[in-house]
């Protein structure tokens, strides 16, 4: 018997982390989306509440959560409708994996509700379908982190192969999210500015940093992870889209951040901090000052790596 109702909590995520465009992701402890699925007679009905909820379409085909639900109900020939109630904690359009959080929550929720016994890879593949609504492409970096938790790297897209690593306990994150309106196709626009061809020396530079970051997670070395948050390819092209970019970077590094970068497709900026030697909240404030210097108010906060999407309540 399917469950009557399931509630899933899914984390914000940050993709790319500097050198790992479309292949690195990390789950954050805060903020989260909370999604409640309730079995109904037929159809998919979406309700959205919480921060930025008004900007999200409630039409299933245009909604990240709705797309995932539609596909899963169809593929598994589930003869039930679904009400999807989304409590947005992850602000949409800011580069913190808002669409991925809702999509992942729905994939994990439907899996639990109808006892589908899907594995992590299948859950990621379904959640990635939702990214089409938000970004126009099925990139899996945010959804992989939202489902697995901690640090993920995508070894291969086809076939999908994910490596999931724990984060060292002293790794903390400083986040500065500007209060600016971003267009619905923000990610597509931010992808359009990326160069199609990469000079060999930039490739060598990024490969070194990306490999070092992955090794840093494997070794549990916060300093290697943080110092490797550098991107010579995508970030220089996207930096023009971030108001106050250079000041934000400089401010973060000046108060002790190990590395700082654009979170996903932006405009949020994120920094890695060694919590043992530096106060992540102070770094967040300093980054916030950078946005303010460019005329934007900001939400700045410190957080830690977080766990993946999980069921928090079930009703039979
Ligand atoms: N890797 C993607 C990008 C993340 O940077 O375009 C978008 O959420």
Q: What tens digit of pLDDT does each residue of 46-98 get?
A: 999 988 888 888 888 888 899 999 999 999 999 999 999 999 999 999 999 99
Q: Is the pLDDT reported for residue 133 higher than 70?
A: no
Cβ atoms of residues 170 and 275 within 8 Å? yes
Q: Is the pLDDT reported for residue 170 higher than 80?
A: yes
What does the pLDDT average to over 109-133? Answer: 92
Average pLDDT across the chain, whole number = 94
* Ligand 1 site, residue 20, Cβ cutoff 6 A: no
DSSP secondary structure code for residue 115 in this structure:
T
What does the alpha-carbon distance between residue 82 and residue 35 come to, in Å, rounded to a whole number?
12
Q: Is the pLDDT reported for residue 136 higher than 70?
A: no
Is 131 annotated in the active site? yes
Task: Return the bridge partners of 261, or none.
Answer: 270
Among candidate residues 250, 258, 256, the one with its CA nearest the CA of residue 230: 258
Show the CA angle centred on residue 184, arms to residues 180 and 189, nearest 5°. 90
What does the alpha-carbon distance between residue 64 and residue 172 come to, in Å, rounded to a whole number?
29
When comparing pLDDT for 28 and 181, which is higher? Answer: 28
Task: Copy the structure tokens of residue 271.
Answer: 């920094």
Distance 187 CA to ligand 1 centre (A): 7
Q: What is the DSSP string of 21-48?
A: TTTEEEEEEEEEEEEEEEEESSSEEEEE
Is 182 annotated in the active site? no
**Digit-coded pLDDT (tens) for 6-56:** 999 999 999 999 999 999 999 999 999 999 999 999 999 999 998 888 888
* Ligand 1 site, residue 238, Cβ cutoff 6 A: no
Q: Is the pLDDT reported for residue 134 higher than 70?
A: no
pLDDT interval class at 137 (50, 70, 90): low
* Ligand 1 site, residue 235, Cβ cutoff 6 A: no
Q: What is the pLDDT of residue 135?
A: 65
What does the alpha-carbon distance between residue 289 and residue 285 come to, in Å, rounded to a whole number?
6
Q: What is the pLDDT of residue 188?
A: 86
What does the alpha-carbon distance between residue 225 and residue 167 come to, in Å, rounded to a whole number?
10
Task: Copy the structure tokens of residue 146.
Answer: 């939202």
3-class DSSP assignment, residue 296: coil
Q: What is the pLDDT of residue 156?
A: 95
């Amino acid at each position: 018997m399917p469950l009557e109702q399931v509630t899933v909590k899914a984390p914000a995520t940050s993709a790319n982390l500097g050198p790992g465009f479309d292949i690195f992701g990390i789950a954050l402890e805060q903020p989260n989306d909370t999604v409640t699925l309730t079995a109904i007679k037929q159809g998919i009905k979406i309700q959205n509440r919480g921060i930025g909820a008004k900007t999200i379409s409630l039409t299933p085909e245009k909604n990240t959560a709705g797309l995932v639900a539609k596909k899963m109900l169809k593929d598994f020939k589930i003869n039930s409708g679904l009400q999807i109630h989304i409590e947005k904690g992850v602000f949409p359009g800011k580069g913190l994996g808002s669409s991925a959080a809702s999509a992942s929550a729905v994939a994990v929720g439907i899996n639990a509700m109808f006892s589908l016994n899907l594995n992590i890879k299948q859950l990621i593949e379904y959640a990635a379908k939702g990214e089409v609504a938000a970004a126009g492409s099925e990139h899996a970096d945010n959804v992989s982190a939202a489902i697995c938790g901690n640090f993920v790297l995508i070894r291969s897209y086809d076939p999908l192969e994910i490596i999931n690593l724990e984060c060292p306990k002293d790794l903390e994150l400083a986040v500065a999210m500007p209060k600016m309106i971003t267009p619905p196709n923000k990610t597509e626009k931010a992808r359009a500015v990326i160069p199609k061809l990469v000079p060999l020396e930039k490739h060598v530079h990024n490969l070194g940093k990306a490999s070092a970051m992955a090794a840093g997670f494997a070794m549990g070395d916060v300093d290697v992870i943080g110092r490797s948050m550098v991107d010579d390819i995508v970030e220089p092209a996207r930096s023009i889209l971030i108001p106050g970019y250079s000041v934000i970077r400089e401010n973060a590094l000046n108060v002790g951040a190990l590395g700082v970068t654009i979170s996903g497709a932006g405009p949020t900026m994120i920094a890695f901090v060694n919590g043992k030697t530096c106060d992540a909240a102070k770094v967040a404030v300093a980054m916030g000052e950078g946005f303010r210097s460019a005329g934007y108010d900001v939400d700045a906060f410190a957080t830690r790596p977080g766990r993946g999407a999980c069921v928090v309540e079930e009703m039979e």
